[in-house]
Structure 1
Amino acid sequence: MADYKKYIIPHSHSLERGNRESLMGHHSKVIWFTGLSGSGKSTLAGGLEEYLHSHGIHTYILDGDNIRTGLNSDLDFSEESRTENIRRISEVSKLFVDAGIVVLSAFISPFKEDRNSAMNLVGRENFLEVYVECPLEVCEERDVKGLYKKARNGEIKNFTGISSPFEEPEDADIVINTANNSMEECLKKLVEKVEPLLQL
C-alpha cells in the first residue's frame, strides 16, 4: 500500500470552499455530537437541522446507525472498528465542509483520541464539539432502542457505558444536558451558540 500511494497525486480544481460558501450564503462547519446511546444526539441534530434549514442554511446529518447500514456496514463494535468508523466519518465530514455544507455528525464516538483526530482532520476552526451530557442511568431508563437491556444480558458485546468505556469530553465547545433540560431548552441553547458562527 505504501508503494502505491506515491502514484496518487491529488488534482487541484479552480473552485474552492470559499466559492461554495459564497454561493450558499453561510460558512460550512462540522457540528460533532458526542454522548452515550440514548442521550439525545440524533434528536438534537435533527432539531437543529430543521431550524437551520428553515433559515436557509444548507445541512446534512451523518448519523451513527444510518452510516453503519451503508458506508460502514463492514465494521463491528470492536475498539478497532469504532476507530475506523470515526475515521471514515471524519473524512466524509471534511468533504462536506469543502462542499460548503454544515454537516451534523451524531456519533457516540466514545474515545477522546478519535474525536481529536476528527477535529484535527477537518481543522479546529471548522469543528464544533457538542457534548450531549446525560447520566448513564437516565440513558438506560430511556433505552429507546432496547440496547441497554440486551447489553446487560450479554447479547451485545463492547457496548459503550456497559462493557466499553465512554471518555467524556473535557473541553467541549458546547455542553447540552438533556437530563435536566427539555429538548426545547436544549435546542434553543444550541441554536444560540451555532447560528452566529455560520454567518459570513
Structure 2
Amino acid sequence: IAKLLAQNDVNVVIDATGNLRRYRDNARKQIPKFMEAYLECPLEVCIERESKRTETHHAPQQIYKRALEGKAPTMPGIGQPYEPPINPEVTVNTAQHTPEQAAQKILEAILCKWYTKT
C-alpha cells in the first residue's frame, strides 16, 4: 500500500519494527523517496516504559512482559532477532531525547534530504 500511495505523490509514514534488514531494504528498493528513521532505544528502557504505560493507543498491551514470559515468541529483540539498520538517514536515541526533540530531528532530516535547494 505504501508503494502505491508513494507512486501517487502521497507522503507515507510506516510505524513498523521491520526487524530484519531485508524487509527495510526491500521497501527502499520499491519506494523511490524512501527514508529510514531509526528510533534507537535500549531494550531495558522499552520494558520500563511499557510497565508504566497506561494508554496504549490500541497497541498490544504488556508485549515485553509477555515476551519475557515466553508468551509472545515473535517479539523482535526477545523471541526474534532484531537487525539494527546499518546506514539510516536519521537516528534518534529515544532514551536521550524527548518525543518532541525526536520529531524535530526527523523533520529536519526530511527537509534536508528532499526540500533543501542545492
Bucket of the pairwise TM-score, normalised by the shorter protein: 0.7 to 0.9
d(CA) in 2 for partners of 1:121 and 1:128?
A: 12
Tell me, yes or no, if structure 1 residue 128 matches structure 2 residue 35.
yes
Greater fraction strand: 1
The alpha carbon displacement at 1:185 in A equals 1.2
Task: Name the SS of the counterpart of 1:191 in structure 2.
Answer: helix
The alpha carbon displacement at 1:163 in A equals 1.1
The alpha carbon displacement at 1:195 in A equals 2.7
Tell me, yes or no, if structure 1 residue 191 matches structure 2 residue 107.
yes
User: For 1:1-29, what per-residue CA distance to the aligned partner results, in whole angstroms no more than 9, with x for missing partners?
Assistant: xxxxxxxxxxxxxxxxxxxxxxxxxxxxx
- Partner residue of 2:6? 97
The alpha carbon displacement at 1:176 in A equals 1.1
Greater fraction helix: 1
**Unaligned 5+ residue runs, structure 1?**
1-91
d(CA) in 1 for partners of 2:5 and 2:35?
A: 14
Q: Alignment RMSD, CA only?
A: 1.6
Q: Residue type matched to 2:68 in 1? A: R
The alpha carbon displacement at 1:152 in A equals 1.1
After the TM superposition, list the runs of 4 or more consecutive aligned residues in structure 1 that deviate by more than 6 angstroms: none
Identity percentage of aligned residues: 30
**Unaligned 5+ residue runs, structure 2?**
54-60
d(CA) in 2 for partners of 1:198 and 1:157?
A: 42
Task: Name the SS of the counterpart of 1:104 in structure 2.
Answer: coil
- Which residue of 108, 126, 137 maps to 2:17? 108
- Partner residue of 1:148? 64
Give the TM-score taking structure 2 as reference length.
Answer: 0.83
The alpha carbon displacement at 1:146 in A equals 0.9
Larger-Rg structure: 1
The alpha carbon displacement at 1:147 in A equals 0.6
What is the aligned residue count? 107
The alpha carbon displacement at 1:198 in A equals 4.6
